[in-house]
Amino acid sequence: MQRIFPVLVQKKYREYIKLNKNLLIAFVAAITISAITAQLLAGQENYLNSSYTVIVDFVVFYSTFGSLFYLDNRKKYLSESGVGNNRLKKDLIKIISSLGIGEIIYTSVRWFLQYYFLTIQYEPYLASVVAHLASTAVYLICVNLSVKFTRLYKDDT
C-alpha cells in the first residue's frame, strides 16, 4: 500500500510538472531575449522600451512554450483513426483560457514594473529581468490555479 501512494501522487502531478517545466523553460528563453532587447533599445523612451520588450517577450515565450507543449503532448491526442478532435478541442480551450487569464495579469504587471524601473534609472536589461521575474511568479500562480479550476488534467488523476 505504501508503494502505491507515491506512484499515484507522482502520476497525479506528472502533467502539472510537465506544464510548469515547459513554462519555466519558455520564461528562461523569454527573459534572456527580453533583457537583450531592452538593452538594445536603451535609447528609446521608457514606454517604448517597455512596450517593445513585452512584444519580443510574447513572441519568444509562445514560440518556445508552444513547441515544448506540443512535443510533450502530441501522442496524447492520437487515436487509431487519427487525431482525437473532441479531446484536443476541449483541452485547447482549457489551456488557452488558463494561459489567457495569466497573460492579462502578467502583461499588466510586467509592463508597469519595467516602466517603473526604467523611470527610476535602472539599467534597461536589469529593469527587464526584475520585472520579468516578478511577473513570472504571479503568472505561474495564476496559471496553475486556472489549470486546476478548468480541470485540464482531471482524466489523469
- Report pLDDT digits (tens) over 117-155: 999 999 999 999 999 999 999 988 888 888 777 776 665
* C-alpha grid cell, residue 88: 484536443
> Residue 113 CB: number of other CB atoms within 10 A?
19
> Residue 77 CB: number of other CB atoms within 10 A?
16
**Tally of domains in the chain:** 1
12-59 residue pLDDT tens: 677 778 888 998 999 999 999 999 999 999 999 999 999 999 999 999
Domain holding 83, by residue range, is 4-156
